[in-house]
Structures are given as C-alpha cells and as structure tokens.
Amino acid sequence: MYAQGIKEYQSVGTQTSIVDADPHRLIQLLFEGAMSRISAAKGHMERKEYDRKSNQINSAINIIGGLQESLNFDAGELAQNLERLYDYMIRRLFEANVRNSVEMLDEVTGLLMQIKSAWDEIRDQALAAMGKTTESTQAGRV
C-alpha cells in the first residue's frame, strides 16, 4: 500500500524502527521523512549541490506518493481532498527542483506540517482513549 514511501524512508537509514510501528505511527514517520528530505534538499540547494538536492526531492516525492497510495477512498471526500493535495505537493516539488525554489519547498513543508499536525492529534486522541500515552508525551513534548 505505502511500500514505496516506506522504501524511501528506509533507504537513508533511520534510528526509528519501522518494524515496530503501528499503522498510525508509520504514517507519522512518513510525514517526518518527507519533511526531512525537503529540509536536506534546501541545504543542498543553498550549497549548489544539485545532484544531491534532486535525490532528496525525489525521495520526498516518493514518500508523498506512498502517502497518496495509502489513502482509503471509502472514507469519502477527505481522502479525495488529500489525494488532490498530495498531487499538488508532488507537482510543486517537481517545480521546485527545476527552478531551485526554496519558497516552493517551504510551501510543501508547511502543507505537510499541517496534515501531520492533524494526524498527530488523531493519534493522541486514539491512544488516550485506549489509556496509552504517546512517545511525545512520554518525552515531555506535547
């Protein structure tokens, strides 16, 4: 379902174990991975390391594509809206890559942050309902 996004996330090597992640946490990791790749791309862009920039942007595109593939269209209008938003983000990343636009990268990061924030709240509420705490709460972050 989101195999390509997971593959992209794993390809760089992370300290967080994807194997132990529940589906909700996996989506959070994908958001984090995409934003991390975009941030790295910005640094490469500023240093004029264009091959590395392109690799990071392509990785972010693949992760967002994985998020897009994971949508459950039985959920209705929300999934359709997210699909359009993910499509928009992918197009903006392609354009940012061609134009070397930090502003476009920032725009996509902002959109990802908004979606991730809502996703984080849903997870926190679900875990609270089950009587569990989230990793961010355990670490003293809210």
CA angle 136, 71, 23 (to 5 degrees): 35
List Cα–Cα distances, 121 to 6, 8, 28, 125, in angstroms.
22, 25, 11, 6
Whether residue 140 lies inside any domain: the answer is no
CATH code of residue 112: 1.20.120.340
Boundaries of domain holding 72: 3-11+21-134
pLDDT one-digit tens code per residue, 81-131: 999 999 999 999 999 999 999 999 999 999 999 999 998 888 777 777 777
Whether residue 142 lies inside any domain: the answer is no
Count how many domains the chain has: 1
Q: What is the mean pLDDT of residues 56-76?
A: 94
pTM of the model: 0.77
Q: Which amino acid is at 138?
A: Q
Whether residue 108 lies inside any domain: the answer is yes
Whether residue 16 lies inside any domain: the answer is no
Whether residue 141 lies inside any domain: the answer is no
| Under 8 Å between Cβ of 57 and 93 | yes
The two structure tokens encoding residue 62: 């693949």
Whether residue 139 lies inside any domain: the answer is no
